Structures are given as structure tokens and as C-alpha cells.
Structure 1
Amino acid sequence: MHHDTTPEENRALLPAPLRILERSGFGAAAPLFTADLRDTDSFERAREVVASHASRLWTEAVREDGGPVDDRPLYWARLTLAARLRSWSPSFPLEAERRAELARLLETASRGITELDFPPGDRWVRVVVTGFDPFHLDGDPECSNPSGAVALALDGLTFPVGERTALVRSALFPVRWSDFEEGMVEEALAPPHGVADAVITLSRGRPDRFDLEVFNGAWRGGGTDNLGQTRTEPVPVSEGPGPEWTRTSLPVEEIVAAVEGPSRVVANTEVVEVPAGGAEPVTRPEGPSEGSSARSGGGGDYLSNEIAYRNTLLRDRLGSRARSGHVHLPKTTRPEEHVDVVEQTRAIVAAALI
């Protein structure tokens, strides 16, 4: 039985993505994957094939080659593999749940999520940095996401923090409401929250500025994701509803004071709320009032606000002492434009550990 590919997977067949894959060397990933799947005679073997091909995508994407980091080949190659997996007709019985398990493994292993572990010992300062896939691709199919590029560029980075050594591990998240509903963020970030000193989520924001988002709201405001889906509702959390607002634990004032560069760094406290007893949303520059309902965090009402909310709620529920918060990066759309953003974000991450 063949399964319909998703709108996101179908987009990977457009000329621009095909060009990006061809130029990058990631174009060979799908034929190799298809050949290995064809030779697979059991579910266990299929798991091994999916895991090895998916983690190879991640390894290739984070490899330093000296040029500007490009997040797009990883994104398009993953979708091409996902489409091949979806339409694969194995020689053995494969139940829908098992196929879905393979699809999840392809996602997590190619996003760095399965690599979010740290060496033991007191000498390490453990830092998680996350970015997002490209989005708004119908308007600009060649679009790159600076948060994805920065996360790829920072993975494996080490730098001194006093007597200790900071080690960065990165992961990328999809621009899809459904994956967030299914708990992808919590599954990925809960284990490192046990040991991490900082968990910093990144996304693409406004031109020429970094926003350190102070407050995150429990509201989805209807934005369209990469599958063409929208959601307008409270953020659904598996352990029951969370608070209307969560707060960053990054040292935002210290970061603003410490980091210089071409784009200004701002501690953003603005939110949109429905005040207690009120009916209409109002903008509050200094943060939420007592008992209000969230309509927009500092980082808006889309998935960047949602990852910020989920990360900081997870911190609070686990009693984690990690410095957790969200940074909106300057809005750039091409790998060569991200170079300054990568450098300045590296400085922000270092300043977050002061």
C-alpha cells in the first residue's frame, strides 16, 4: 500500500530544492537510502538502515567546511528520504505503527535529537542550542533559516568558561504544529534538562536585531505551518495545562551589556494579553499583568513562542536549574547573510553562561 506524501515532501520536488540538493552533495542521499531499503528483509534491519542514513545526514550537515553554513540541504534531503520511506513497499509485513516508528526515527536522528547527550564529569558546562527548519517556502523556496544555520554551526563547539569547558550540542525542530502536539520538544529536551547548564532555543525574528524573549505565552495564534495547517488555541501540554506565562532564566541584562556586533541585542518584555476580567487583547510593553490570558509572548504566537514556552515550562516542571530561554535572530534568508549572525549568537551563548 502506497501512502500519500505530504505537502512538505512534495515541495522537495520543485526546481529550487532539487538545485540546492544537487549543488550540495546531499543529492546522493535518497538513491543510496532507496537502495538500502530495497535490500531490507526485516523491521530490525529497516531500523538500522533508517538510523544510519538519518544520522549520516546530521553528521554531514554539522561538518565544518569553512564556508557559510547552509541548513537547506539537510532539510530537503530529510524530506526526500521521508517521501521514499513513506512510499516504500517492503518484502515483509509492515504495520502502520511500525512504519510511523521508522518515520519518527528518521526525524529524530537527522535533527540531532538522538545526539543530545553530554560527557560525564564536572569540567563540562553543558549547553543545548536549538534552531528551526526553513519556512514560508511557498513565497521563497530557496529560503534558509538563520536559526537552523546557527544551530548547525554551533554543534560541537567548545569554549572556556572559567576553569571549565562549555560544550554545545544542537538540534533542529520542524515548523509543524503536529510534531509539537505529539511532544517532540519535551522528548528531546527532557533528558538534557537533567544535566544541562543552559538550553537556548533560537528562531528567525526581525531585521537587524536580536530579541531576548523574556515572557512566553500559552497561546497559538493561527499561523500556517510547513504542512499548510493552522492552530488557534491554547498551547496543548501533555501533563495538563501549564501557566499562561513562563519566563526566561537567561541573564538578559548581562547578555545585552556584554554582546556587541552589527545587530543590536534587545531584552524584549512586550506581550499581548487579555487582562483578568477583560475581553479585548491589549499590548503590554513591560510584560503580563496578574491573572491575564496570553495572546502573544515576546516571541509572538507561532512555533518560536511555543518552543520557548515548552522549554521553560519543562525547566520549571522538572525543577531544572538550566538557564533556559529564547533568542530571536535577525531576519536573514541566505547562508552568506548568516555569517555575522552566527558570530554574534556565539557571543550571546557565551554571555548566557556568565
Structure 2
Amino acid sequence: MRKTTKIITGGSCTIRVKGNITTKTGGKTVIWAKGGIEINSSGSITYSAAEGHFYGDYVPPEELYTTHPTVLRVEFFDETNKLLNQNTKDFYYGKKLKLKVTTRDAKDGTLIFVKLQAKSKSKNQPFDLMSPNRKYNWWAKEVVDNKFETPFFELNPNWYSDDFEYYDYNDHNTKIKEEDLNEFYAEVRFDSKTVYFPLAGERLKPIAYKRNYEELIGLFKTDNSGEKDLIENYENRFIDSVKYFKNIVDDFSEFIHEDNCDLTIDQIDAEVLKTARQLWEEAVWQNRGYDLKTETKDKETGQENTVVTSVKAILDDRPLYWARISMQVILKRHPAFYDDIKTLDQKDQEDFFVKSIVPKKSRLWKTIQLFEEQSRNYTNIDFSKAGYKKKVLITGFDPFFLNSIKYPNRYNILQSNPSGVVALALANNDKSGAYIQTMIVPTRYSDFDGSQDYDNGQGEGIVEKYIKPFVDQVDMIITVSQYLPNENVIDVFGTSRRGGLNDNMNFIRKSGSQAISTKIEWIQTTLPKTFINAPFVKFNWKYDDLPNPNNVVPQKDQILNEGSGGDYLSNEIFYRVGKIRSELRPSLATGHFHIEKIQDGRINEDLNPLKISNLLSIIRKGIEEGVKGI
């Protein structure tokens, strides 16, 4: 499963205290039992250690069980019969392997008992399928020619302990230290004696896809200590905040890594198509509110009744954002894609295995894009039910500036993006004088310019691929994003130039560079002036971050370092859509609605339900008035 904690012991030792027990040692204290250990306290129990806590299956002191008169060694082999012992670190979770036990002077037919074991430095590492599942226990097997080999099996990719990963801000990639990897070995019982092989220092230490910068932020502990945790982290907090999201992610995790060990890529794609779509629809459902119908039956009369309960909308885009990240990490760790990536050139392999960037030439890239298309609603925009209503396409953005551990009092890991809430709450809406379809786009340069380079990129991307086809089909396109506190404005000018500020992947772009090669330096909005008939909405005429009280229009070829709304991706989506409109359908109403920021990053403010509800009312009214002008 995605998160489970198992601590396994076996016998009993009970300590009950009303006062204090203090134990001091200058060396090492070992407590072990063949039974169980129970600790009770009327107060609190505190564990602390400079080098971390170690949890896993019960293992007696190793120095007592490291030799055996008959068992010589235990070794891991892959499907090609390659030896995987000696701390192999290039073997991946999910790939097939087997255990081979070598004995000496053993009579053929003698029974041997073998059980897979694991050890982790993580206090919350789940090895939840290991102990109860006989797949990893080989009891009462016969030794022949002084050998016993298990059938091939797989190590669950969910057993990889990514809470020890860390992002290198100099190399711009994610790393994990060898000593922090989980290790695997075997408990062998033979001739009534037990041994644990391979010995420490020679055990199997498999690896997995390492989370990229955006994916890694979610593992920060919710106590803001700067540590990472497999369970008490922000990613889980937001996913688990709505039980339906938790169910979707957990079921997806089980399907991909536990229920079907030999999935083909086509089978994975089929599950992605279904589940990623379900994720979007669930997010829309939660952000719109709904009527819950319950069928009841009177026990005495037998009369059946339908009780309708109005369930209030959960106005929050964060469960969708974090669920998408968690599920894509699950996908990227499936072994079905590894061989495909290893057939690519060295740079592409390095991109994935070192830089955590999925190569565009890989089969995995197509699967991730399928997930993006469904969970962001890129390919399910449908105006067929619009009838005679105006057709309006609205886009929102992912949350951004989330790394409050690296950038305290500036970024906010609790940050929502109210534009994402707008997109979810207004999806399929036909009550604002128009029929509305929506999508949510990422806060990543790569998706906009098609480049996977850290600091260099220019070209076409998601806007040209997914929004351009609707220029001839709709009556208005409104791109929406988060702006400044207490500011709800229609940006008048968008520029082709970028400021280059870090995105959600920690990527940058050269300041002053163009997002796309063009002679069209800036674009002016064509959204109708009726937007300002809504309270608190106005047009923003400034550019280059300077007041423009006289509403002066720049010169035709004038280079604007900043548009009305700045020089980040909000300006970029405004410009890109406007450029397409100017080339294909100049009369189409397009532009950018910058809506107010309602969370204070300086104090890690959480999303306030009343604030987001009030803001949504302002935006609804603005769009309603805007539609009247087309």
C-alpha cells in the first residue's frame, strides 16, 4: 500500500512504570526477545537518536546468527543469472530476482526454511506484504546437491524509502546516500539452526526512480522540521483530506505495484486512462458540491423514501495537485518502463536515472502524457452540450512557490492556486450566461516551451497543442491565475519576454528571453470591458511594472520586459493564446484574469474556506458580466 507501518516482534516482555526509568550507556544497548515487547506509560514515551530509528522484521542480534555449520551463503540473482549481492545498487525494485542458498555436506531432501527479510532506517517504512504473504516465505523446501533456489519474485516498489532523498541545488537533481537505502537479505533455518545471510555490508540494496524537485517537496513532514517522512507528510495530508482521493490513489498504487506484478504497458495505459479521468471528475465533483441521495425504508410500513442531503463544496485544488504527483511517481517506478528507457541513448538514460526527467523518446513519456491529458482535462473539453449558449474556455494553474523549507517566510507549502479552484468549480457550468469548459495547466516551463533543459527553452507546448484547436470553436478564452492580494484584474498587455523565475521543477529561463521566437513583442487583450461591471474587478493597464494612468498603448515593436501581470507563466499563457488568436481569429475575445492571492506565504497561511468562497463569487460575477460583452 501507499502507506502502512508494520513493526514485527515475537514473545513478551512487559515494562510498566509510574515514575521514570533512565538508562545511560556509553556504548550500545540491545534489547531483544523471541516473544514480544510491550511498553506502557501513564505519561509519554519519547524516542530520540542522533542517527535515526531502525524498524523492520524482528531480527536477533546479528553477531549471534551470522554463522552456520551447514549453510555457506545466500545470494541474490536477477533473471540473467547476474549475482546481485555485494551491495548492488543498480538493481531496481519491481524487477524479478531469486534467492539461492548454498549448503555443504547436506543430505538431499533435507528440508530448509527460507524467509525474505528487510531492514530500513525509516521508522515508517512499510514492508506490508512481506510477513503475511507466503510469496516471500519458502517453508519446508528440499535441498538438492547442496542448493536451494527460490522461484523468481519481485520487491514491491512501494518499499523504496524515498524519505531519505534530497535535492542537490547545485547539480539540480535528486540524490540518496548508499547508507540510507533499504537492504534485503534472508532468514534461513536449516538443521534446527538459524542464520541471516548475506551479512551486513553485503546485502541487496535496490533503487528506484528518484523523485524530481516538484515531487520531492510533498514528502516534507507536516511539523515543518525540514525532515521528510513517508507518512506524516504534506502530500499525504492533502490526498487523505478527502477520502475519495485517498481511495483513488491507494487503489491505483495497489493495482500498479501489488495486484498485478506482470502488467504490460498497454494494461498500465488502460488503467491510467480510467483512473486519471476519475481523478479529474472527482475533483470537479468535490469543488461543485452535490446532492447525496439515500434510499430508506420504513420498517413498519415498508414505504420507501429518498432522502436528499446537500453536500457543501470542498473548494480546494490541492488534493488533485498532490494526488497527481503521487500517482505519477508510482507510474515512474514501474519496472515495465525501465528496459525501454535503457535502450535509449546515454543522455536520455541519464535524464531519467540521474536527473529524474522522463525522456520524450520513451514509452513512459507517452503514459505520463496520457495521465496529464486526462487528469488536467486537456483532451476532454466538450462543447457539444452548449446548445445556443456562448462557449467559454477557462484555464487555471497548479499551486506554485511551495518549498517553504528552502524559502521560509516567502514560499508556502500549504498554498492553493485559486485559479485551479475556479477551473474545477466552473467546469461544465451553464449558469453564467455561457457554457464553460475548463482545464488546469502546470506551473512548469517545460510544458510551455517543450524543452526539458534546466535553464534553456523556447518553442511550442501545451498551449499550441491543447488550446489552439478551440480558437475557431469558442466565443471566449479566459486564462486565469493567482495575482497579488486584493487585486482582481484583467491584464491589458502580455509580452513575449520572460523573467525566468524558478518554476515548480526549479527550472529557470534566461531573463529577457522570448518564450517563442516571434516578431510580435506584445499582445493586447480582447476581453470585453463589461468585466468591470462586476464589483472589485478592473483592467490593469500597467506594463514594465510602471503605472499607466493614461492607458497609453506601447509602440508596435516596443520590447516589454513585463506585461501587465508580470513576466512569469501567467503572462506567458496570456501572450501565447493572444498570439494564436491574432494569427487565426483576431476578433475572438481572449485575455488573462489575474485573481487575488488569499494566503499569506510569510506565515504559511492555510486555505480559508470563507475567503476562497467569497473570491469564487467575485470571479463568477466577473465572468458573468464579461460574457455579456461578447
CA RMSD, Structure 1 to Structure 2 (Å): 2.1
CA distance in 1, matches of 2:269, 2:587: 35
1:1-354 maps to which residues of 2 (within 5 A)? Answer: 2-14=208-220, 15-25=233-243, 26-38=245-257, 39=260, 41-63=263-285, 64-65=288-289, 66-90=312-336, 94-95=340-341, 97-119=362-384, 123-139=388-404, 140-159=412-431, 161=433, 166-182=434-450, 183-231=461-509, 232-237=511-516, 240-252=517-529, 254-256=530-532, 258-260=533-535, 264-272=536-544, 286-319=552-585, 321-333=587-599, 334-336=607-609, 337-354=611-628
Q: Secondary structure at the match of 1:34?
A: helix
Cα separation, partners in 2 of 1:68 and 1:287, compared to 1, 3 Å: farther
Cα separation, partners in 2 of 1:344 and 1:242, compared to 1, 3 Å: farther
Letter in 1 for 2:318: R
Letter in 2 for 1:56: Q
TM-score by length of 1: 0.88
Kindly indicate whether the alpha-carbon contact (under 8 Å) linking 2:531 and 2:538 is maintained by their aligned counterparts in 1. Answer: no
TM-score by length of 2: 0.51
Kindly indicate whether the alpha-carbon contact (under 8 Å) linking 2:235 and 2:323 is maintained by their aligned counterparts in 1. Answer: no
Q: Secondary structure at the match of 2:560?
A: strand
Worse-matched range after superposition: 86-95 or 293-302: 86-95
Letter in 1 for 2:266: E
Task: List gaps (5 residues or longer) in structure 2.
Answer: 1-91, 93-207, 221-232, 290-311, 342-358, 405-411, 451-460, 600-606
Kindly indicate whether the alpha-carbon contact (under 8 Å) linking 1:202 and 1:329 is maintained by their aligned counterparts in 2. Answer: yes
Q: Secondary structure at the match of 2:335?
A: coil
Letter in 2 for 1:180: F
Letter in 2 for 1:148: G
Kindly indicate whether the alpha-carbon contact (under 8 Å) linking 1:130 and 1:173 is maintained by their aligned counterparts in 2. Answer: yes
| 1:115 Cα deviation after fit | 1.6
Letter in 2 for 1:259: A
Letter in 2 for 1:127: V
Offset from partner CA, 1:273-325 (integer Å, 9 cap, x none): 9xxxxxxxx77553423421120000100000001111111112222643111
Offset from partner CA, 1:319-338 (integer Å, 9 cap, x none): 26431110110111315121
| 1:93 Cα deviation after fit | 5.3
Letter in 2 for 1:54: A
Q: Percent identity?
A: 30
| 1:236 Cα deviation after fit | 2.9
Cα separation, partners in 2 of 1:108 and 1:290, compared to 1, 3 Å: same
Q: Which has the higher helix share?
A: 1
Kindly indicate whether the alpha-carbon contact (under 8 Å) linking 1:145 and 1:332 is maintained by their aligned counterparts in 2. Answer: no
Cα separation, partners in 2 of 1:194 and 1:122, compared to 1, 3 Å: same
| 1:160 Cα deviation after fit | 6.2
Letter in 2 for 1:206: L
Kindly indicate whether the alpha-carbon contact (under 8 Å) linking 2:280 and 2:376 is maintained by their aligned counterparts in 1. Answer: yes
Kindly indicate whether the alpha-carbon contact (under 8 Å) linking 1:216 and 1:245 is maintained by their aligned counterparts in 2. Answer: yes
Offset from partner CA, 1:98-119 (integer Å, 9 cap, x none): 1001111111211111221210
Q: Secondary structure at the match of 1:209?
A: coil
Q: Secondary structure at the match of 1:178?
A: helix
How many matched pairs? 335
